[in-house]
Structures are given as C-alpha cells and as structure tokens.
A and B are shown apart, each in its own frame.
Chain A
Amino acid sequence: DGGITQSPKYLFRKEGQNVTLSCEQNLNHDAMYWYRQDPGQGLRLIYYSQIVNDFQKGDIAEGYSVSREKKESFPLTVTSAQKNPTAFYLCASSIGASSYGYTFGSGTRLTVV
C-alpha cells in the first residue's frame, strides 16, 4: 500500500538537543511538506519541497531545518534554537506543487523533557 510513514510516533527531547523526525513516502510524489499542529492553532507550514535538492521556508521555519536528498524522504530536524518544540508534527506530500490533494502521515508527537 502506498502512503507516508512518519517515525517515531513519539519522541522526547532534552533541552539543548537536536532531534530529527523521519518522513518517507512511496507515492512517487514530487512535493513534500512539514506542518506543526498546536491545540487551537490548526496546521502551520514549517518547510516545503517541490523537487529533490530544493526546499523553501514556510510560515514558522525558525529553529527547524530540512533536507531533500531523495524523492522519497524529507526529514525534519528540530534544533535547539526552537524554543517551544513540543507539538504534533505532520508530514504531507502531493503529486506536484500545483496538485490539489495532500496525503498526510500519522504524525510524530515531540515532547521536551
């Protein structure tokens, strides 16, 4: 079955640590996205990539970094510069940047301990 796999499902980070969230898709989609979800604030775009080796900042990119070395993979690193990283992180993909349908993964819940 085609889809998006996010791992881990739960992640705990100590103060000052960088952590990387994994996102893999086997849908052959060109575009991939990272969203952050906080209660009452909906989904906010962190980064997006329309093609391999290219990505752009979204609305809340500060404290985050990404890479897109392979079409299937779009990992997100939450750096120590992100002061409030506790949230639910969602990865999504679409056939192309102009396509209408987004497919979401099941998310990673990150907690600072």
Chain B
Amino acid sequence: QQQVKQSPQSLIVQKGGIPIINCAYENTAFDYFPWYQQFPGKGPALLIAIRPDVSEKKEGRFTISFNKSAKQFSLHIMDSQPGDSATYFCAARPGFSGSARQLTFGSGTQLTVLP
C-alpha cells in the first residue's frame, strides 16, 4: 500500500513538446505529492508539489494534475527544452501523525528533450 507506481520509465520528446509523466498510488492516507528533478551525478531537487485538496497546480512551465478519485497524479512540462532533460521522480507521503511519514518515491522517468 506504500507503493507509488510511475510511468513511463523513459520518454523522448522534441523541443517544444509536452512530456507527461504519470504516477498512481493505493494508500489513501497519502496527503502530499511532490515531484523531484535529478540531473546526472546530482541529488534530486524539489520541483513542484500538490496537496489533494486541489486538482491542478502550475509553477512556470511545470503543472501537476491530480485525480483523487482515480488515485493518480501527473506532471506536464509545457514548451519543453533540452535543459529539462533529467530524471523525474514522483513521491507521496502519508498525512497521519507518527514516525512513518517518510516520502515514498516512484521508480523515476528519464526524460530526454531533443533540440
């Protein structure tokens, strides 16, 4: 129930395209859904995050869409650029109090944006 399933494993788009990365979860106790961006040889960095009380959140060219009933959320990158080429991880965290509030990560999507 702690698992977060991410797809696709890899994605190649042309510059200006709109890559979409999808994640699904089972645990209805999750209440925080962040996306992390990781460049080769570096640690992940927080990109954007959403709470389940909203269906969409935009920050610049990055948008999270959230479907609470389907238990799915996705990342869209508008007008993608070669500099967006990186590995993207979705994650989720339960909202109940206690020690088990660590992030559970998806398996990652390697995005390549061709010039």
Contacts and interface: CB of A to CB of B under 8 A. Distances in A.
A100 B107 contact: no
Given A48-B102, A98-B101, A90 B43 contact: yes
Given A42-B106, A43-B105, A101 B43 contact: no
Interface residues of A, number: 25
* Range class of the B interface residue count: 20 to 34
Contacts of A50: 99
Interface stretch (A13-21, A63-71, A78-86, A103-111): A103-111
Nearest to A9: B41
Nearest to B42: A106
Interface in B24-75: 32, 34, 36, 41-46, 49
Contacts of B102: 33, 45, 48, 58
Interface in A1-58: 4, 6, 33, 35, 40-45, 48, 50, 56, 58
A42 B108 contact: yes
B97 interface: yes
Contacts of B43: 4, 6, 90, 92, 104-107
A76 B37 CA distance: 24
Interface of B: 6, 9, 32, 34, 36, 41-46, 49, 89, 93, 97, 99, 101-103, 105-108
